Structure formats: structure tokens, C-alpha cells
Amino acid sequence: MGKEVLLIEDEPNIIEAISFILSRDGWRVHSHANGVDAADVVRMRKPDVVILDVMLPGRSGYDILEELRSDAATRSLPVMLLTARGQTKDREMAERLGATRFMSKPFSNAEVLETVRTLAAEA
């Protein structure tokens, strides 16, 4: 496969779990835990898929997503938004800002892997 995922997440257990799941499937996984410069890291790394947590130190995932969608270089980049708050209003906000997929925590390993594979195939 040889594709690259940028995981923007600040919880070490989630970083470890997702990295393990995707690495085993042949993905190169890079992680970043700070919301402040996350959009810059996305532009620098140019990943095939971004997994973006909503609640990050320094800046929310919603703000980061909004910045990515306003930049022509990252406008069509597949972004899966992760959140511990899976309420309807959170899902609607994610859709309005341009998230490609929305996933609530806790998630299943198979669900993460299938979603990332689908996002990469659709890109």
C-alpha cells in the first residue's frame, strides 16, 4: 500500500492504537499532538489521509479543518474527524466544515482501518 496518514491526536493510547492498526496494514503513520500548528504540519507532510481529533491543545479540530478547507492545497484532502462527543450537533458541525468522515470514540479497529482504506481509495 505505502500510503501515509497524519494522525493529529493528543491522547497517547489512541495514537498507539491507531498507529498499530494502520502500520500493520502497510501505512506510514505520523502523529502530531498540538492543535496550534497542525495545519502547517499537514501542508508540510502532504499525507494521503488525515485523522483529526476535535479536542486538541491550543486549537480545536474544527478550526483546523476549517483552515484546511479554505486552502486550495488541502481543500480536497480526505479528513476523518474523531471525537469523544458524537452528538448530532457535532456531526453536523463536522459536515458543515467539510469533514470527509466523522467517527465517534470509542471506535472499533476494523472501522478505523476500513474508513482509512476507503478515504484513500476515493481520493
1 burial level (CB within 10 Å; 0-12, 13-18, 19+): exposed
pLDDT tens, position by position, 14-56:
999 999 999 999 999 999 999 999 999 999 999 999 999 999 9
Q: If one looks up domain 4-122 in CATH, what number appears?
A: 3.40.50.2300
C-alpha cell at 4: 501515509
pLDDT at 1: 43
Tell which residue, 108, 94, 102, 93, has the closest CA to residue 18.
108
Q: What is the pTM of this model?
A: 0.95
Q: How far apart are CA 11 and CA 5, in angstroms?
A: 17
Q: Where are the domains of the chain?
A: 4-122
